[in-house]
């Protein structure tokens, strides 16, 4: 659905040239939830604003539905933007207008008559669970409810694409999870393509199908969330995971003085329910010590990752690779 080709963007700041984006190429598929993660100043906000041309690239092309939108201007660009919803970090609601009026606002700009826009506004308010609050004002709502109004407003024009610019950063953890659940439901029910930016790997893990990691204006890692989460390659990705409580190198201290080789075992889907350690010990007679481990879900798919020390005779160890392959376990040797 979306293809960015060699996008670059620079700014002049205090007499210096800042490369916000540097030769970025990226593809986002129809109907997926795509996450862009990076630290402050990495370029993620500039990148997401390229998708509706709130930022114009210095060079490169942005393709949406086989149209090069960097060529759009005037009425053509305004018509395109009506098909792109955007949800902001700080809600950006009109506080002097009711919830209903806030959601009607983009419909009024699109020239929809009053009765039709009110009907549509009530439909999307029901979708986000706020139909009973239609006549309230934003100040009468909680932060999570205000963000739901922002989402309803973004959906009012039946967009093909929903952009979320740090949509949960101003919310507490419980409210964040409720908003992420809502985004998952919207994606599933409407088949809507969602692109969100965040600095939190937990947000990516909860809602996204694929993720791009951006650092200093460049995409340094990109792929399915589960693959990136279980097998991070770039130091920036590893650091972001560590900050969210997933440190791939914690096993080193525990491995000191523990005999045997050290391996990292990764499983996904139904393989997480297999009695992995007991199979290894009973079938091969190996001693297995767990040095580090995590079991959880990424979006809806269960996963598990263990770092283990394996001790035993060489003949038994020789059969381990075959058994792990049979059990659909990915593995890597961390210490021979």
Q: For the chain, count helices (H), then strands (E).
A: 13, 14
Residues 253-307 have pLDDT tens digits of 778 878 889 999 999 988 888 899 999 999 999 999 998 888 888 888 899 899 9
The DSSP line for 139-155 is GGS-HHHHHHHHHHHHH
Backbone angles phi, psi at 160, to 5 degrees: -85, -20
Inter-axis angle of helices 143-155 and 99-109, to 10 degrees? 20
Residues 85-137 have pLDDT tens digits of 999 988 899 999 999 999 999 999 999 999 999 999 999 999 999 999 999 99
Parallel, antiparallel or unpaired: strands 67-68 and 59-64? antiparallel
- If you average pLDDT over residues 192-211, what whole number do you get? 94
Percent of the chain with pLDDT over 90: 69
* CA atoms of 107 and 112, how far apart (whole Å): 6
Query: pLDDT tier at 245 (50, 70, 90 boundaries)?
Result: low
pTM, full prediction: 0.89
Sequence length of the chain is 336
Which helix or strand (DSSP H or E) is residue 17 part of? strand 16-28
Instruction: Return all residues near 54 (Cβ < 8 A) that are at least 6 apart.
Output: none
Report pLDDT for 64.
94
Report pLDDT for 248.
66
- If you average pLDDT over residues 212-230, what whole number do you get? 95
* CA atoms of 74 and 246, how far apart (whole Å): 47
- CATH 3.30.70.260 in the chain, residues? 251-335
Lookup: tokens for 290: 């767990």
Query: pLDDT tier at 216 (50, 70, 90 boundaries)?
Result: very high
What's the topology of domain 251-335? Alpha-Beta Plaits (3.30.70)
Q: Are 185 and 155 in contact (CB under 8 A)?
A: no
Q: Are 142 and 164 in contact (CB under 8 A)?
A: no
| Chain CA centroid to CA 100, Å | 29
Report pLDDT for 142.
95
Q: Which CATH architecture has domain 2-243?
A: 3-Layer(aba) Sandwich (3.40)
């Amino acid at each position: 659905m979306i293809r960015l080709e060699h996008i670059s963007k620079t700014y002049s700041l205090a007499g210096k040239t800042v490369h916000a984006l540097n030769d970025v190429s990226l593809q986002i598929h129809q109907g997926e939830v795509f996450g862009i993660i990076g630290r402050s100043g990495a370029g993620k906000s500039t990148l997401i604003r390229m998708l509706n041309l709130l930022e114009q690239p210095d060079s490169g092309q942005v393709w949406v539905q086989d149209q090069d939108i960097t060529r759009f201007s005037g009425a053509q660009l305004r018509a395109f933007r009506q098909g792109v919803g955007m949800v902001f970090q700080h809600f950006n609601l009109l506080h002097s207008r009711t919830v209903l009026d806030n959601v009607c606002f983009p419909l009024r700009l699109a020239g929809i008559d009053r009765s039709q826009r009110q009907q549509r506004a009530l439909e999307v308010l029901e979708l986000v669970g706020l139909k009973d609050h239609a006549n309230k004002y934003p100040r009468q709502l909680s932060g999570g409810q205000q963000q739901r109004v922002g989402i309803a407003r973004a959906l009012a024009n039946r967009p093909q694409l929903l952009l979320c610019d740090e949509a949960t950063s101003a919310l507490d953890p419980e409210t964040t999870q409720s908003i992420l659940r809502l985004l998952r439901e919207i994606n599933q029910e409407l088949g809507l393509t969602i692109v969100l930016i965040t600095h939190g790997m937990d947000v990516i893990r909860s809602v996204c199908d694929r993720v791009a990691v951006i650092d200093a204006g460049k995409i340094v890692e990109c792929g399915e969330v589960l693959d990136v989460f279980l097998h991070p390659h770039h130091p920036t990705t590893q650091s972001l995971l560590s900050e969210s409580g997933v440190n791939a190198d914690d096993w080193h201290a525990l491995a000191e003085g523990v005999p045997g080789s050290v391996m990292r075992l990764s499983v996904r889907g139904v393989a997480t329910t297999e009695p992995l350690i007991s199979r290894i010990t009973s079938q091969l007679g190996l001693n297995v010590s767990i040095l580090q481990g995590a079991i959880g879900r990424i979006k809806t798919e269960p996963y598990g990752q263990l770092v283990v020390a394996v001790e035993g005779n060489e003949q038994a160890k020789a059969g381990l690779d075959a058994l792990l392959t049979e059990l659909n376990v990915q593995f890597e040797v961390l210490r021979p």
